[in-house]
């Protein structure tokens, strides 16, 4: 890291600690002796989502949170559990350095997570995600949940 005061190219890290989603580093220049702070941030690749209408748009974490929130509304699922589910989905793509996915792949991951958290939230999300148009669709998904318990 270059010293911002004298432009010497090799500064020394004297303290390092996590700060939010960053790493805070206190540095010192061995030439001029001045200290300064830097922040290190993990750079995630931009995830593009291929939609059902054929268009692409950047992954929007807030949009996914809103969808999951509507499914867990008035259910015994904490905000921490919901945030962990969304973070896990986002991190799956980031860790794989994947830059493209589909809405259906994301929806399947949400369904898998909700199935473990709360069955009512799972059915709610599935009804919107899979675009249920009749009672038979609800009966099928509920009986699928019942057969998974056995």
* Tens digit of each residue's pLDDT (9 = 90 or more) over 113-131: 999 999 999 999 988 888 8
Q: Does position 148 have pLDDT exceeding 90, yes or no? A: no
Closest CA to 89 of 115, 70, 72, 64: 64
| Residue 9 in tokens | 């190219």
d(CA 33, CA 103): 53
| Residue 147 in tokens | 């057969």
Range in 51-55, 87-91, 128-132 the model is least confident about: 128-132
% of the chain residues with pLDDT over 90: 70
Q: What is the DSSP letter of 33?
A: -
Range in 21-25, 84-88, 99-103, 106-110 the model is least confident about: 21-25
């Amino acid at each position: 890291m270059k010293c911002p005061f004298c432009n010497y190219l090799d500064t020394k890290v004297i303290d390092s600690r996590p700060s939010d989603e960053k790493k805070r580093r206190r540095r010192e220049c061995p030439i001029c002796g001045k200290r300064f702070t830097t922040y290190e941030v993990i750079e995630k690749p931009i995830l593009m989502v291929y939609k059902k209408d054929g268009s692409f748009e950047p992954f929007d974490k807030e949009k996914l949170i809103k969808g999951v929130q509507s499914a867990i509304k008035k259910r015994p699922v904490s905000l921490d559990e919901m945030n962990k589910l969304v973070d896990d989905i986002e991190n799956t793509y980031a860790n794989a350095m994947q830059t493209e996915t589909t809405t259906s792949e994301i929806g399947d991951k949400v369904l898998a997570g909700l199935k473990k958290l709360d069955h009512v939230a799972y059915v709610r999300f599935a009804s919107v995600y899979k675009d249920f148009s009749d009672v038979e669709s609800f009966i099928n998904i509920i009986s699928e949940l019942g057969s998974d318990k056995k």
